[in-house]
Chain A
């Protein structure tokens, strides 16, 4: 168990800047997230004040991580798999089963991609295609399903679906989830298929999934679970109700309206720009640290 005053979820520019500002306020700060999952990784920045030319996003994240750590922030480069309110504060668990308890939380998760973009996905949504194993698992009792995705949400869903389905394929070309989660899904009985989904097929309902290696899996349901646990799910676990477009509404101090919970960056809505993420990160980090110092005591 790790204890912190301020816990930040998300290792993009908003989360890192929040970490820097909170840590400089002399509160203990833990940041959980993978910088490589930020929209900034792999991007180039040419509209950020004072940075000439086309700056490499991954390099900005690498330098930012070092700066946050330099000010005393502890980094856990993992995804969060569950979050809850506990004993007047908050507790999250990571993909390696590490628990972090904190007095305040900053959501800086960004906006994740949920659609796969393969033929059949849109047409068969609600008729065998689902984006929420936790919601729809019960409809697939004794049936054959596939989970698509290589990150933690896919691993957790593959494990969960073994409780309902007679057969669970976990379809992933590359695995980014921790060994711990992969082991749990396999031990539960999910069969890992190292391939990418090419098309979801069926007339009235899903009946098969075509893979890029030529294999066709006969099945009843396809669960698309890309990335980490979604920002909307995390927010609801902390009693914050997201907007219908999955963004989180905040006031000028990045406060969500739920005591001790702040949000910053792309997750609060457009513009999806590094400049806005950094600005809000500074505000959220400062506000969360000041709230802890004023209300919880140091």
Chain B
């Protein structure tokens, strides 16, 4: 399962899944590039369980404003369409497996 490109228009529908994770990023952001392999791996290991997407904050300002995003990368976590968690920035302990476990515990 690959990472889905989410936009302002498709956002609400996308996060309406049982579990959804959206990586908010921008092309000029170095730390965002480092997040990419983790998000790709998350999509791979949680196929069928978690919908995994990425949102370009530059092209989709409406969603960024709605969720008060002011630092990227930010990962938004949803359960049944409701925002349940927000992770900002990189951390040395961040892994795809760790995110998956946390989300499925919700």
Taking the complex as formed, is A55 at the interface, i.e. its CB lies under 8 A from any CB of chain B?
A: no
From residue A237, how far is it (CB to closest CB) to chain B in Å? 9
Q: Which residues of B contact A (CB under 8 A)?
A: 26, 28-34, 38, 57-58, 64, 68-72, 74, 86, 88-94
Does the CB pair A128–B94 fall under 8 Å? Answer: no
Residue of A134, A138, A236 ringed by the most chain B CB atoms within 10 A: A138
Which residues of chain A (212-248) have a CB below 8 Å from chain B? 221, 232-233, 236, 241-246
Main secondary structure of the interface of B (DSSP, over half): loop
On chain A, the number of residues with a Cβ less than 8 Å from chain B's Cβ atoms is: 25
CB-contact partner of A134 in B29, B92, B93, under 8 A: B29
Does the CB pair A242–B34 fall under 8 Å? Answer: yes
Does the CB pair A135–B34 fall under 8 Å? Answer: no
With A130-B70, A132-B31, A221-B70 known as contacts, the answer to whether A125 contacts B88 (CB < 8 A) is: yes
Does the CB pair B70–A135 fall under 8 Å? Answer: no
Taking the complex as formed, is A276 at the interface, i.e. its CB lies under 8 A from any CB of chain B?
A: no
Taking the complex as formed, is A131 at the interface, i.e. its CB lies under 8 A from any CB of chain B?
A: yes
CB-CB < 8 A to B91: which residues of A? Answer: 244
Does the CB pair B34–A126 fall under 8 Å? Answer: no
Q: How far is the CA of A241 from the CA of B31 in the complex (A)?
A: 10
- Give how many A-B residue pairs fall within 8 Å (CB-CB): 66
Taking the complex as formed, is A127 at the interface, i.e. its CB lies under 8 A from any CB of chain B?
A: yes
Q: How far is the CA of A128 from the CA of B88 in the complex (A)?
A: 12
Q: How far is the CA of A245 from the CA of B94 in the complex (A)?
A: 9
23 A-B pairs (CB sep. < 8 Å) = A126-B88, A129-B71, A130-B71, A131-B89, A132-B29, A132-B30, A132-B31, A134-B30, A135-B28, A135-B29, A135-B30, A135-B31, A135-B32, A135-B71, A135-B72, A138-B57, A138-B58, A139-B64, A139-B70, A241-B34, A243-B92, A244-B90, A246-B92
From residue B88, how far is it (CB to closest CB) to chain A in Å? 3
From residue B51, how far is it (CB to closest CB) to chain A in Å? 23
Taking the complex as formed, is A136 at the interface, i.e. its CB lies under 8 A from any CB of chain B?
A: yes
Apart from the given pairs A126-B86, A127-B68, A135-B28, 4 other A-B contacts in the complex at a CB distance below 8 Å: A131-B89, A136-B72, A140-B70, A241-B34
CB-CB < 8 A to B86: which residues of A? Answer: 126
Q: How far is the CA of A246 from the CA of B89 in the complex (A)?
A: 13
Closest residue of A by beta carbon distance from B25: A135
Closest residue of B by beta carbon distance from A126: B88
Does the CB pair B34–A244 fall under 8 Å? Answer: yes
Does the CB pair B69–A139 fall under 8 Å? Answer: yes
From residue A254, how far is it (CB to closest CB) to chain B in Å? 21
CB-CB < 8 A to B92: which residues of A? Answer: 243-246
